[in-house]
Structure 1
Amino acid sequence: MHGRFPGGLGAVKSADAAKITATPVQLLAAASLCVALAASIMAWPRVGSLLLLFVQVGFLVIVAWRLLTVIVSLRHRAAPIAAASTVAPLPRYSIVVALYDEAAILPHLVERLANLDYPPELLDGYLALEAHDQATINAARALALPDWLHVLVVPPGVPTTKPRALNHALSVARGDLLTVYDAEDDPDPLQLREAAARFAVEDGELVCLQAPLRIRRLHKGRDTSPFLDRQFAAEYAALFEITLPAMARMGLPFPLGGTSNHFRVSALRALGGWDAWNVTEDADLGFRIWRRGWRLGVLGRPTYETPPGDLVHWLPQRTRWLKGYMQTLLVHTRSAAGMGWRGWTAMTLTLGAGLASAGLHALSIAWVSAFLLMTLMTGQLLATPWLGLGVLLCGASAAILTTAIGARRAGAPFSPWDMLVAPFYWSLLSLAFVHAFVRLIAEPHRWDKTAHRPDIAREESAQFLEPLVADAGRAAA
């Protein structure tokens, strides 16, 4: 059963929404498991060894999974569709951008949306703005917007999250198809046409297409970290160039990116829209689609984004992502209906593995460092840890291989030096994991906003917009 939050569609059934972080049954199960493990280790020391063996087997499973995605993705390179000549007539397309405190970047966003190659009379766009964000509202109303792009003020209410704003826009959208963009996005001008063509030739069970997200601002700036920028770009490349295409090829569900998702509006409304209480509503929605028996796919034409920048911006964003993954796992483990073994496998290898890796990275690197230090100090090779060390090295090698191949496909730099320092980036994920766990308990629904830089947007518009327009013109011709 689905109902309405103030201002739009939204899932309100407690079993399907992150409004409840954990049910009493889940809390009792988690506490019982912790007590049972502690008691078992104290009573039978070998249980600790068996637990370590279990973790090592898990690492090897992830290694095998990474290699499988590389192989499968080689067979599934989505070919961008140059024109929509195969779609007659073109469907009406709704475009939604949920914004908060984005007055400075609005002109650049509008410029990029106006560059989309789609008949204006078939576009139905909304800048969904919070009622208390008067600065952004004033900036939007002062701009010369395309006729199809409207300022939509979201009525006051709770929670004040992006998915709640998207739900309000969904309740008034007039399109047959709908896509979501973020403030800093620069989508390929032909992305809407490609999505429309894909939906036209696929059956009705394909209800969502994810465009690849690519990071492109990688040169040094005063307020950005080259190390974080390059690692973030390569990480994105591994996800959007390898993992998601492979999962789409295998017919598995996957967590959506927070932007450039393209939906059949009828299916999105049937799902009740986004869960307004989940801070990674995109990850949650991917698995809700699967539970209804529908499929997800990927596109070839990308959306370009900027990295969050230095640690003070990167950490809140990654904390929110990991907190949302925790929310999504808690929500979807309350019921087995509609998941099946393939759904559980996909969730375990994406959300579960992502959380486990983030939690263990720093500990693993600290353990390896301590082992190597003791070996150097004693001058002897210690025999016991070599199996664990080998497993960790296999995992790191598989991760670096996947990232390097993804970066090459996306055109992102990932040099031997980047490979060497990647474990230090992984260690920062452990810091974000700890933050996310604490925030899940203290502030489960607080939305940590990612700041966007208008000076970067201005520079990118000048540097990249002209080539994209020229490419779109050649493709259409």
Structure 2
Amino acid sequence: MHGRLKTRPDFAFNARRTATGGQLTILLLLLIGELAAFVFLPGADRVFAILIQFSFLIVMVWRLAILRASRTRPPTMPLDEAPRRRYSVIVALYDEAEVLPQLVERLSRIDYPVDLLDGYLALEARDEATIAAARALDLPSWLQVLVVPPGRPSTKPRALNHALSRIKGDFVTIYDAEDDPDPLQLREAAARFAAEDETLACLQAPLRIRGRQGGKKPSPFLDRQFAAEYAALFEIALPALARMGLPFPLGGTSNHFRVSALRAMGGWDAWNVTEDADLGFRVWRRGWRMGVLTRPTYETPPGPLFLWLPQRTRWLKGYMQTIMVHTRTFDGMGWRGWWAVLMTLGAALSAAAVHAFAVSWVMLAFLFAAMAQQPPQTPWTGVAVLTGGAATAVLTTLVGARRAGVPYGWKDMLGAPVYWSLLTLAFGHAFIRLIFEPHRWDKTPHAPDLPANEILPETGALIADSGRTAA
């Protein structure tokens, strides 16, 4: 087991300041060194190209490794023997009056002893419409409205921390406004926590995409690609990392914690716009373990490009914040922890940064060659590495989609490079926003889900049945 963290979490792991002076100095020296190498060292461009190809090769091998590791599924727990431990549920909401009735109806279906449930709708004090809508509803006896007082920053993790100071449970989970959790998810988590020792601090439920929200323009291409991307993450990558005993970035919802562990870490970083990704690595630094569940939470895709782009921008900006925060100190991480950071956050950022340029490079090389009626001058080793990397990415996505029960056919595979190229656009937005608006929270608007018979024709048979689970 890696060493425990010595540095106080509330000092070291806070994204209020994006980068320290030392980090900025190192980044500047690396940039100057790279530019100097290109100017003064002959052949530096070839060395750089080889390093990029080698990096792609490592990621390709890693994808095959996690695909193999993900075949070992989480243990099946006897739910009828789940321990009688108090469970808290927190849902942080802002400007969600329209979707609130649907959310409350879904939360009321949670199958857990009512006398052991402790739930909070954490609502911002300035959000009068959602507060009024919540108080007008007939809430389950265990669910109450909690008004979060004004303060900075005005973010979801700050609202969660306010609720964390008041919850009464031994375990806690968080949900989002659009979530439809499996009713037995809490029972499975409680049984897993009871079956393992106290070092198991967190469990992540799989998130699966289905249907779309009402009032949003259909976006079949983005919806299908987004659903498949989620499947690759939650059905392949996270189960594999858990199986290997490595840390991973948590999803933004449906993470289940031991309350004692969460409070010991100081809760969520209110200044990080992907507080979930940050918290996964803080769990690891403490010497604790993470795991995954089998019972999913269903969500809807963000929708068309003008809604998808801000969401992905926030995710990538938060990944940048998380890397900057966690490289301030090396205490408690160990080489396995740093490898996990590199292969999750680092790989996601690097891939997003180069996708569009790599795709354009290959397409232009073959286009110019065809126009000149000559073989392409592109180095075949580079093309082979890029093609192999794309093939392993598609394979991982295909297997994940099959497990999640979402469609992913040959047209989706051919369209994947276009979707990947859009990530480069999001990366550029994220980098600029990190500099000028590091703590701005780009919220995705939500609306009630469309009925099943309205979903299928427009989204190409994305899952509509909330009771369906992957085989």
Common topology (TM > 0.5): yes
Of 42, 45, 59, the match for 2:42: 45
Q: Per-residue displacement from partner, 1:173-219 (whole Å, max 9, x unpaired)? A: 00000000000000000000000000000111000000000001169
Partner of 1:84: 80
Mapping for residues 381-392 of structure 1, pairs under 5 Å:
381-392=375-386
Q: Cα deviation per residue 1:440-463 (whole Å; 9 max; x = unaligned)?
A: 0000000000111225389899x9
| SS across alignment from 2:153 | coil
Q: Flag structure 2 segments of 5+ consecutive residues without an equivalent.
A: 1-7, 456-461
**What is residue 104 of structure 1 aligned with on the other side?**
98
Confirm or deny: 8 A CA contact 2:213 2:449 kept in the other structure.
no
Asked whether the 8 Å contact 2:209–2:463 carries over to 1, the reply is: no
Q: 1:70 aligns with which of 67, 71, 79?
A: 67
How far the C-alpha of 1:146 sits from its partner, in A, is 0.6
Instruction: Report the alpha carbon displacement of residue 378 of structure 1 after superposing the two structures with TM.
Output: 1.4
CA 186–80 in structure 1, closer or farther in 2 if over 3 Å, else same: farther
Match in the other structure for 2:403 = 409
Question: Would you say how many aligned residue pairs link Structure 1 and Structure 2?
Answer: 457
The amino acid across from 1:84 in the alignment is D
2:15 aligns with: 18
8 A Cα contact 1:220 1:226, kept in partner: no
Q: Deviations over 1:225-274 (max 9, x none)?
A: 00000000000000000000000000000000000000000000000000
2:115 equivalent in structure 1: 121
TM-score by length of 2: 0.93
Q: 2:30 aligns with which of 28, 33, 37?
A: 33
Question: 1:52: how far off?
Answer: 1.2
Match runs of 1:341-352 below 5 Å:
341-352=335-346
Aligned-pair CA distance for 1:80: 4.4
Q: Percent identity, aligned pairs only? A: 63
Show the counterpart of 2:415. Answer: 421
Are the aligned partners of 1:108 and 1:458 in contact in 2 as well (CA < 8 Å)? no
Aligned residue for 1:6? none
- 2-side partners of 1:147 and 1:281: how far apart? 30
SS of residue paired to 1:456: coil
Instruction: Give 2:266's aligned residue.
Output: 272
Distance 2:197 2:44 in 1: 50
| Counterpart-to-counterpart distance in 2, 1:467 and 1:291 | 36
Q: How many angstroms apart in 2 are the aligned matches of 1:79 and 1:226?
A: 35
Counterpart residue number, 1:3: none
Q: Against the structure 1 CA distance between its residues 97 and 457, is the aligned structure 2 distance closer, same or farther, given a 3 Å change threshold?
A: farther
Look up the match of 2:220.
226
- Answer yes or no: is the 8 Å Cα contact 1:185–1:305 preserved in 2: yes
Matched, 1:208 2:202: yes
Q: Does the CA contact (< 8 Å) of 1:105 and 1:457 recur in 2?
A: no
Q: Which residue does the alignment assign to 1:180?
A: 174
Distance 2:415 2:432 in 1: 28
SS of residue in 2 equivalent to 1:273: coil
Unaligned runs of 5+ in 1: 1-9, 472-477
Asked if 1:287 corresponds to 2:281, the answer is: yes
Structure 1 range deviating more: 28-37 or 264-273: 28-37
CA offset digits 1:99-119 (Å, max 9, x no partner): 000000000000000000001
Q: Name the counterpart of 2:57.
A: 60
Secondary structure of 1:396's counterpart equals helix
**What TM-score comes out, normalization by structure 1 length?**
0.92
RMSD of aligned C-alpha atoms? Answer: 2.2
Q: Say whether 1:338 aligns with 2:335.
A: no
1:399 matches 2:396: no
Distance 1:455 1:220, change over 3 A: closer
Q: Write the letter of the residue equivalent to 1:20.
A: R
SS in 1 for 2:412: helix
Alpha-carbon separation, structure 2, partners of 1:373 and 1:397: 21
Q: Which moved more, 1:449-458 or 1:438-447?
A: 449-458
